[in-house]
């Protein structure tokens, strides 16, 4: 005989069943346990979503400041990066490619872009790189529009590299891209 609250007389052909309230309590406990597991899963998911939202997101646009107003430092970095990408990515032919890719640094490319953008036609602008000592002269011609409506300028670039005693001259053409940067190519 089984003693306690579950006492029932077991006959050989009968099976033991606990009272009805115990079955309900067991089901309630399992349901409550499932709720606790579900809550844990929800909490874990919420924590993961929160952590994912804190991670930086790349939009594909480099060096772009947030908001409508860009601060001066961020825009200067963006201009420098765009100049470098524009000049390095669009330079064609060997002499100009060598000049821009190997000899010009960021300072030189900024100067070059500034002269193409604001330099007076026929007036030679010159500068000396403070780090390398290379000297450059750029003489832009009047701007013109291409068939595709791009604004372009032809120019003569003269460079005195690595202490040479004679300027090397390259005739070039630069066209303003949609982002405002000048893309340069060598004239034939």
- Residues 72-97 pLDDT 10s: 344 333 344 444 444 444 444 455 56
- Annotated domain spans of the chain: 72-186
Helix (H, G, I), strand (E, B) or coil at 71: coil
In Å, how far are 18, 61, 88, 116, 187 from 156, measured between CA atoms? 101, 33, 18, 11, 9
> Which of these ranges, 83-92, 155-164, 168-177, has the smallest mean pLDDT?
83-92
The overall longest dimension of the chain from CA atoms, in Å, is 118
Give 101-158 pLDDT, tens digit per residue. 667 888 888 898 899 999 999 999 999 999 888 899 999 999 999 888 889 999 998 8
Amino acid 168: pLDDT: 84
Dist CA 53 CA 37 (whole Å): 24
DSSP per residue over 80-131, as a string?
HHHHHHHHHHH--SHHHHHIIIII--HHHHHHHHHHHHHPPTT--EEEE-TT
Amino acid 100: pLDDT: 64
Using left for φ > 0, alpha for ψ between -120 and 50, and beta otherwise, residue 107 falls in alpha
Dist CA 157 CA 137 (whole Å): 6
Give 35-46 pLDDT, tens digit per residue. 666 666 666 655
Dist CA 12 CA 35 (whole Å): 39
Q: Which helix (H) or strand (E) holds 26?
A: helix 20-54
Helix (H, G, I), strand (E, B) or coil at 143: strand
Amino acid 110: pLDDT: 87
Amino acid 64: pLDDT: 44
């Amino acid at each position: 005989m089984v003693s306690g609250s579950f006492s029932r007389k077991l006959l050989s052909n009968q099976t033991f069943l606990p009272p009805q309230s115990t079955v309900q309590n067991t089901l309630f406990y399992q349901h409550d346990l499932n709720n606790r597991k579900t809550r844990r899963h929800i909490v874990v998911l919420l924590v993961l979503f929160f952590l994912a939202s804190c991670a930086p997101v790349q939009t594909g646009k480099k060096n772009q400041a947030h908001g409508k107003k860009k601060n001066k430092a961020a825009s200067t970095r963006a201009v420098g990066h765009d100049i470098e990408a524009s000049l390095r990515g669009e330079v064609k032919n060997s002499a100009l490619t060598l000049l821009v890719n190997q000899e010009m640094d960021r300072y030189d490319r900024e100067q070059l872009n500034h002269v193409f953008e604001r330099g007076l036609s026929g007036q030679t602008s010159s500068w000396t790189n403070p780090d390398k000592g290379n000297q450059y002269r750029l003489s832009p011609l009047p701007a013109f529009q291409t068939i595709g409506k791009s604004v372009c300028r032809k120019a003569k670039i003269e460079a005195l590299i690595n202490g040479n005693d004679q300027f090397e001259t390259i005739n070039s053409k630069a066209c303003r891209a949609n982002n405002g940067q000048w893309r340069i190519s060598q004239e034939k």
